Structure 1
Amino acid sequence: MSITTQTGAGIVGATGVASGLGGQGAKEVAAIVAVALLVIGGSELLLRLFEVPQFILPTPSAIASVFASAEMPTIAEHYSYTLIELVTGYAIGASIGLVLAAVITQFPFVEKVITPYILLLVTTPMLALVPLLILNFGFGFTPRIIAVGLASGPMVMINAATGFRRVDAMKIALVRSCGASTLQIFSKIRIPMAMPMVIVGLMIGAIFGMITAVGAEMSGGGFGLGSRLTTYSSTLRMPEFFACILILAVTGITIYAFFFWLGKRLAGWES
């Protein structure tokens, strides 16, 4: 069971976007920039031409002006809270996910016991549990970190476990015949061969974690970028609202780009 397909499952060949990011020429980069300028400029022109109110849909220039306004320090402060929740919850969830992936691939009985619970976590929207977590742990960081960990951990575990199982049985039989221990087989054979799937799982887990963190902040607590989104939308401050959306979008792209780079470094052989 895996979130990604088995054909070209590594992050190096995960999507067409990924392959494009890896080797774009000057013409491709220029085309991307030109399309971006066309979309931004066209949006600016159309919104001004039809005199669309700022509280309905702000112009790109109005959104850009937020980054130089007095509101930006407040947005930056709340963004730092979101990053704390994301990094802490993701580190805990991903670590547990990797350990569980290693355990269930070595001990089939453990897999049979915990698989139903992992499926329950995967199929249950973690945002639905946020009110319950807030009821038990208050409006601080704790319920949000737990929600991020629960959202990211299973994604990491499923993909990592799939990767650990992809190893050719003939290779394992060969090194076992040479006297290699189970630990040596796992560290020297399974982990390197599973690295593409592990990195894909880490990337998916990080993106799911960010979405969960923002959603949990929108459920209450008064701090975090999700809380700012709720405040700005309820007061019709759409330029600030879309500025926060833009920050989150850039964060997601950064996460993707980081794991794509990591995949090229650690699993470039799969390409």
Structure 2
Amino acid sequence: MISLGAGRVAGRGADRARFVLPAGPWRGVAVRVGSLGVLLALWWIVAAAGVVDPQFLPGPRAVWEAFVRANSWHQLAPGVPRQVPGEQNYFLWEHLLASLQRIAVGAGAAVILGPLVGFALGTSTTLSAILGPYLNFLRTLPPLGYIGLLIVWFGIGDTSKIWLLFLAAFPPVAVATIAGVQGVSADRINAARSLGANRVQVVSQVLLPATLPEVIGGIRVAVGFAWTTVVAAELNNGIPGIGGLAFLAGQQLNTPLTMACIIVIGLTALALDAVISFIGALLVPWKGKA
């Protein structure tokens, strides 16, 4: 009897000591926050212990101070009374806004033209045979492969950067649209035609709703790919620009500022993807329910 009672008491104590994560959507949030906390703790420990040279791995505090400096007025140099804004005479948020504007124009044009070209190639075997190889050729080229040519054609201004971002974002949208159109069942199309639908009605009432989820997925990939190309786009005359600032800070061995820019670039990418996912959920509420 004593041993059974002791076992029950020990079991209750273990149950009380066990950490239980919150249920529902907060569980995922708790896991992500905990993971981030562990990562920051490990980063701080490694930096504080001096395991890695601060030139290569600055601590969280140094990165935070670089971020604050890049978003505030400060002295040009110690002992110099002149105040300058941020880095390279722009605040960090201004660098980020300049890059987002380039993404909006370049990737935005791809988001508009990509589905149109994809629908044309997906519904016409003749166009697909003529233009398909060129699209695949463009899709396989890395952006750094033709950035030099774009600079020769359009100079080092924003035009070459916008073209680079457009060429990076266009193929994923077009290819996803083609895959969506070709994935529509022929039975659906034949059924619509048998009910008297014309070509425009087939496209608007059958092909477009069935293809839209693929298009949204292609846009997510395209915008993400364009955003990862922003550093390459801003290698030359990329100020203001978050990618250009990261590249310049790396050249100057300003590792804290480089890491601050990388973190901002990553967080912005997550925010862009979340916005596109939210819009996609509003546009295609039937996705995954049929």
Q: Into which bin does the TM-score normalised by the smaller protein fall?
A: 0.7 to 0.9
Alignment of 1:67-82 (within 5 A): 67-69=67-69, 70=72, 71=86, 73-82=90-99
Equivalent residue letter for 2:112: S
**Cα distance change on mapping 1:222 and 1:205 into 2, 3 Å:** closer
Alpha-carbon distance, 1:207 to partner = 0.9
In 2, distance between residues paired with 1:213 and 1:43? 27
SS in 2 for 1:268: coil
Alignment of 1:239-250 (within 5 A): 239-250=256-267
- Deviation per residue, 1:36-60 (Å, 9 max, x gap): 1111022112210126443211111
Do 2:123 and 2:181's aligned partners in 1 also have CA atoms closer than 8 Å? no
Q: Does 1:260 align with 2:273?
A: no
Please report the TM-score for the alignment, with normalisation by the length of structure 1. Answer: 0.86
Which residue does 1:54 correspond to in 2? 54
Which residue does 2:5 correspond to in 1? none
Which residue does 1:238 correspond to in 2? 255
SS in 2 for 1:269: coil
Do 1:95 and 1:153's aligned partners in 2 also have CA atoms closer than 8 Å? no
Do 1:145 and 1:213's aligned partners in 2 also have CA atoms closer than 8 Å? no
Alignment of 1:1-271 (within 5 A): 25-50=25-50, 52-69=52-69, 70=72, 71=86, 73-218=90-235, 220-223=236-239, 224-271=241-288
Which residue does 1:14 correspond to in 2? none
In 1, distance between residues paired with 2:160 and 2:245? 18
Gaps of 5+ in 1: 1-22
Equivalent residue letter for 1:250: L
In 2, distance between residues paired with 1:24 and 1:257? 20
Do 2:122 and 2:177's aligned partners in 1 also have CA atoms closer than 8 Å? no
- Identity, % of aligned positions: 26
Structure showing greater Rg: 2
In 2, distance between residues paired with 1:230 and 1:213? 11
In 1, distance between residues paired with 2:48 and 2:266? 25
In 2, distance between residues paired with 1:228 and 1:163? 38
In 2, distance between residues paired with 1:151 and 1:144? 11
Do 2:164 and 2:233's aligned partners in 1 also have CA atoms closer than 8 Å? yes
- Deviation per residue, 1:123-177 (Å, 9 max, x gap): 1112221111112211110001111111111110000111112222112111111
RMSD: 1.7
Deviates more, 1:128-137 or 1:73-82: 73-82
Alpha-carbon distance, 1:222 to partner = 4.1
In 2, distance between residues paired with 1:24 and 1:229? 39
In 1, distance between residues paired with 2:287 and 2:109? 28
- Deviation per residue, 1:211-265 (Å, 9 max, x gap): 22221212x1141222212211111111110111011101111122122222322
Which residue does 1:9 correspond to in 2? none
In 1, distance between residues paired with 2:122 and 2:181? 7
In 1, distance between residues paired with 2:238 and 2:105? 19
SS in 1 for 2:229: helix
In 1, distance between residues paired with 2:142 and 2:255? 28
Do 1:82 and 1:214's aligned partners in 2 also have CA atoms closer than 8 Å? no
**Cα distance change on mapping 1:168 and 1:206 into 2, 3 Å:** same
